[in-house]
Chains A and B, each alone.
Chain A
């Protein structure tokens, strides 16, 4: 009896966090700093800052000029759908698709880019960091789409301040209502061609071009709590992991902070298969885990559980947690769990070249570009679809590859290549996808992963609103490039699937009414109060800006609420 009690004590914590990515790292930091003994579970291998295997390799130290081999593509064919993830320098951060398969409904496409390791996608993320505004929080209510957010900008704004100050975001304050200002480190520079675009677009079209807001340190942080973080070195090798801590990741920031408290137990190789529901008490008791290395099945217990396993990861765990109370998945009274999958649709825009600025160039490699905040269906520019899009783009001068299809070869080619090519410029839209109930995921028991767990069947599609928007995304890009005097302007619209933006969201949406949503305004599962979901799955709409900053702000806010509820004895 005592033995059993002791054993149970060893596996009992104040809190459990599932996942170590952007959201999990923040949950771990906040919970441990508030004094909770916290078990942090990560399904993949350990990665400790600054041990990123390819981070300092020069081009000639990478085999195959960094290209994927046929064997790589066999193992990671789905992960390669982006065209940039499966490289010799970055492929180890993305899953083996053969070991971790999923299924797409006939004729439909879902792109799921994943990394199973400590730090998750915070190592490979795009680092663009934008605040939402009330244009976004009010949109569902105004349009009668999905459910209304139970949160407005004033509720989340102090948490944006908090996370921006902690992680360091470089950018420019513009006073735009639709893209609120932040606590920014100095902005990075636009180059000559981008400045020309900025001026022309403002003068001729009244639109804003600014430097991207990005989670890089362009100056010192205003606190001393992140000793692993150093200034961005402008190497533009971010996807490999940054040994300088130049950009924010869980590994360089939140996890070391949690570690420092002495309250964190980090357990890698721990695949959470389900949440254990206590029917008598009506709360979650803990989680079931499969040890990824030994196959051993384990259980861990806690007073509160934070699900931060990524949108599809957390939703899978909830759908796979079946009890008498929740026969359709934990917290799924509404039937919305697994539905309303959103992302940002992209791969559409325009490119061109400039004849001028021949005597101008740049130094350093800026892992950032320009940003054009949303202007459609805001102010004067009404369009024939709902919501809108922003643009991300950049200008640069051509390198050696532009000479392959030119006449020079031999000594002449070696001479010609030393002079940079023409300035080229391109931009692509990031468009809002609406929440559609039938863009969904369900558990597929017919296909198992390498741990013997069931997998996910996705059914997702773009609909009329997105398709209409894409026409503008191409045409407006061309219009702006032409306004700036670019030549040979050509639009593009690449075929993509939902998920290619790697901003999947929405499968456990936040709302006021338990009948139509999964979590409440505090990211707390309506019907299972000690479970909090703070990755992208809580998003009730997608806005058109990169979402990670918003996940961080909501996670910190949810922890603050959860701990105060715990102290009040409400959990």
Chain B
């Protein structure tokens, strides 16, 4: 499957059309702002696009759906609006802005304008040191990059595609067996 096919298939699954200019933008390396699959209720259009791209880097579409397919960007937007306290909202937006500023400084452009490989490289350059600093206890509070990662994972693994295709889920197990060979069970359960 080539890149155009992949994009078209995604559009098909999600039931929305990608406009021609946007499609050109994507094929040319994301020069135009990618269209959003949802109308943000908290974030601005720009912020929502940026969050969508970051979420898709964290959980990309592979042979199973990715963050965008699972509606994660809209989930994050809604969580920020209704679940996050004002303080955490402010921290998130500040973190999002500095993430993009850093992208401009070190990778040369807005994060959403970077080509996919460069998006991954840049994300890694922010993510990996943050993980190390957090794990070592050097920083006590999760930095932005881990907050957005947590939100992405939360939204994705509680979504139907995340829970049923990447993990496994059984609505009505009917019984509990305490010691079963992992090979027989297969993948991680989505819920405990």
Binding site for B on A (CB under 8 A): 56, 58-60, 62-71, 188-192, 194-195, 233-236, 358-366, 396-397, 399-401, 403-407, 409-411, 413-414, 417-421
Contact = CB atoms under 8 A, between A and B. Distances in A.
Interface in B43-85: 57-60, 62, 64, 75, 78-79, 82-85
B131 A406 contact: yes
Nearest to A191: B178
Contacts of B84: 70
Contacts of B182: 358-361, 420
B140 interface: no
Interface string B136-167: 00000010001001100111011110010011
B58 A409 contact: yes
Nearest to B150: A404
A418 B166 contact: yes
A363 B167 contact: no
Contact of A64 (B78, B123, B191): B78
Nearest to A368: B176
B171 A413 contact: no
A270 to B, nearest CB: 35
B187 A418 contact: yes
Contact of B191 (A365, A397, A418): A365
B83 A68 contact: yes
A405 B153 contact: no
A414 B59 contact: yes
Contacts of A361: 180-182, 185
A419 B167 CA distance: 9
B31 interface: no
Contacts of A69: 82-83
Contacts of B146: 404-405
B79 A366 contact: no
B122 interface: no
Contact of A360 (B128, B166, B180): B180
B33 to A, nearest CB: 22
A413 B162 CA distance: 12
Contacts of A71: 82
Contact of B177 (A189, A235, A405, A409): A189
Contacts of B13: none
A192 B159 CA distance: 30
B154 A418 contact: no
B30 interface: no
A412 to B, nearest CB: 10
A418 B62 contact: no
Contacts of A413: 58-59, 153
A404 B130 CA distance: 11
Given A60-B160, A71-B82, A361-B181, A414 B176 contact: no
Given A58-B169, A396-B192, A414-B64, A67 B176 contact: no
A399 B189 contact: yes
A365 B179 contact: no
Given A60-B160, A399-B157, 9 more contacts: A58-B171, A189-B176, A233-B173, A361-B181, A363-B177, A364-B175, A414-B64, A417-B157, A418-B167
Nearest to A231: B174
Contact of B174 (A56, A233, A417): A233
B183 interface: yes
Interface of B: 57-60, 62, 64, 75, 78-79, 82-85, 120, 123-124, 127-128, 131, 134-135, 142, 146, 149-150, 153-155, 157-160, 163, 166-167, 169-183, 185, 187-192
A194 B79 CA distance: 36
Contacts, number: 164
A400 B167 contact: yes
A404 B78 CA distance: 20
A309 to B, nearest CB: 34
Nearest to B131: A407
20 contacts: A65-B75, A65-B155, A69-B83, A189-B176, A234-B176, A235-B171, A360-B182, A362-B180, A363-B173, A363-B176, A363-B185, A364-B176, A366-B176, A397-B188, A400-B188, A405-B131, A413-B153, A418-B166, A418-B187, A420-B188
A191 B188 CA distance: 16
Contacts of B82: 64, 69-71
Question: Most chain-B CB neighbours within 10 Å: which of A60, A189, A364, A411?
Answer: A60
A387 to B, nearest CB: 32
Contacts of B166: 414, 417-418
Nearest to B128: A407
A65 to B, nearest CB: 4
Contacts of B190: 59, 399
A363 B180 contact: yes
A233 B174 CA distance: 4
Nearest to B85: A70
B178 A234 contact: no
B78 A195 contact: no
A365 B127 contact: no
Contacts of A418: 166-167, 187-188
A406 B166 CA distance: 18
A551 to B, nearest CB: 28
A213 to B, nearest CB: 15
A65 B176 contact: no
Contacts of A404: 146, 149-150, 153
Contacts of B158: 59-60, 62, 65-66
Contacts of B173: 233-235, 363-365
Contacts of B188: 397, 399-400, 417-421
Contact of A60 (B142, B163, B172, B178): B163
A220 B166 CA distance: 36
Given A65-B75, A65-B155, A360-B181, A409 B176 contact: no
A185 to B, nearest CB: 14
Nearest to B181: A359
Question: Most chain-A CB neighbours within 10 Å: which of B82, B149, B172, B179?
Answer: B179
Nearest to A398: B188
Nearest to A362: B178
A447 to B, nearest CB: 27
A336 to B, nearest CB: 43
A67 B80 CA distance: 12
Nearest to A65: B158
Given A59-B163, A233-B173, A233-B174, A362 B179 contact: yes
A410 B177 contact: no
A56 B171 CA distance: 8
B164 to A, nearest CB: 9
B79 A401 contact: no
